[in-house]
Amino acid sequence: MPVAGRPAPPDAGEAPGAAPGPGPAHGHRGPPRGVLRRHPLVVLLGGLVVLVVAVLGALAAWVAVEAAGSTSGPRTVVTVRPGQSLDAVVGTLSAQRVVGSGLAFHLYLVVHGSPVVAPGSYLLHRGEDFAAVRATLAGGPDVFVVDVLPGFTVREVAARVGQVPGLDGTRFGSLVATGAVRSPYEPPGTDNLDGLLGTGSYTVEPGETERALLVQMVDRFDRLAGQVGLARGAAALGVSPYQAVTVASIVEKEGVYQQNLGKVARVVYNRLARGMRLQMDSTVLYAEGRDGGTVTAGDLELDTPYNTYRYPGLTPTPIAFPTPAALRAALAPTPGSWLYFVVVAKDGTEAFADTLAGQEANEALAQRRGVP
């Protein structure tokens, strides 16, 4: 029995001097030794880092897949306008399906750098890989347009061809002069394609050659000739198809406006039928390599078959590329007996006369109106 006022002796197995413990029935209080308690904010930030890394990895994988592109699809020409933003350019690329995702291409450019994109046109492919698209845009425009305007000559077209990077205007002209590319309407012994190239715009893509471009122009005129019935219409008028084109070229230069063409064509045919000289300024200007301007008395003395003041009949070749309207006028001239015409209004309206006296009256009208 314990003595009052004195501590009870330790139980058997308890070391002397050991502090009394709660015993196994009460368990441990607090964390076990060696374990630290984590703050909730640290746990949250760790989770966010893991999430961000996972998202970035997935995003990078997605961009990589998009950047690889798909099988290169059909060609398409993308045009960048002056002052257009990169966002707008990427929008055009996406709209024309050059890139599958505009956002992915933007992210690709963030990593690889955005090129300076010059205004102009670019040849690309639908579904093209991002690296190729970026390289094409960085290289500058590679698609160009050559315009063959009504009233132009081969010489003027060659000058425009020479302005296209990679093409040579002199070589283009040589293909014509040597007969390397011919028109089916070109008579034997003639190496002149004036009048025989189709007017309009021609797209020049990378790798285009002068010969291929010239063939396109000849083919376009041939299609037009078929549409207007050139061979049939010329036969009905008693002229060759080449002569009809020559008439159309003179009508193009002398009539200019739609309302004049049919009557100008009739004047040409009426003068030819009477054995009169055509006396057309445009033919003299062609001989001098000029497009418009004043014809002087000295010009009228020029000794060339293109001087229709000096020599009767048609010029040896067409003098310009006619519009479809001028070609149709040459094949179906307006009925009439006119032999003369002159511009009598500043809007290009021409007055027609059967006699020299009528022509002089119309010239006086033009002077009163201040028409040069």
- Supply the pLDDT for residue 234: 97
- Supply the pLDDT for residue 124: 93
* Model-wide pTM > 0.85: no
- Supply the pLDDT for residue 1: 37
- Supply the pLDDT for residue 49: 72
- Per-residue H/E/C for the chain: CCCCCCCCCCCCCCCCCCCCCCCHHHCCCCCCCCCCCCCHHHHHHHHHHHHHHHHHHHHHHHHHHHHCCCCCCCEEEEEECCCCCHHHHHHHHHHCCCCCCHHHHHHHHHHHCCCCCCCEEEEEECCCCHHHHHHHHHCCCCEEEEEECCCCCHHHHHHHHCCCCCCCHHHHHHHHHCCCCCCCCCCCCCCCCCCCCCCEEEEECCCCCHHHHHHHHHHHHHHHHHHHCHHHHHHHHCCCHHHHHHHHHHHHHHHCCHHHHHHHHHHHHHHHHHCCCCCCHHHHHHHCCCCCCCCCCCHHHCCCCCCCCCCCCCCCCCCCCCCHHHHHHHHCCCCCCCCEEEECCCCCCEEEECCHHHHHHHHHHHHHCCCC
- Supply the pLDDT for residue 37: 63
Domain regions of the chain by residue span: 67-138, 144-227, 229-368
**pLDDT tens digits in sequence order for the chain, 372 residues long:** 343 444 455 554 444 444 455 555 555 555 555 555 666 776 677 667 776 766 667 667 666 776 776 666 898 999 999 999 999 999 999 999 999 888 888 888 888 888 989 999 999 999 888 899 999 999 999 999 999 999 999 999 999 999 999 999 999 999 999 999 999 999 998 999 999 999 999 999 999 999 999 999 999 999 999 999 999 999 999 999 999 999 999 999 999 999 999 999 999 999 999 999 999 999 999 999 998 888 999 999 999 999 999 999 999 999 999 999 999 999 999 999 999 999 999 889 999 999 999 999 999 999 999 987
- Supply the pLDDT for residue 41: 73
Q: Which fold has domain 67-138?
A: Dna Ligase; domain 1 (3.30.1490)
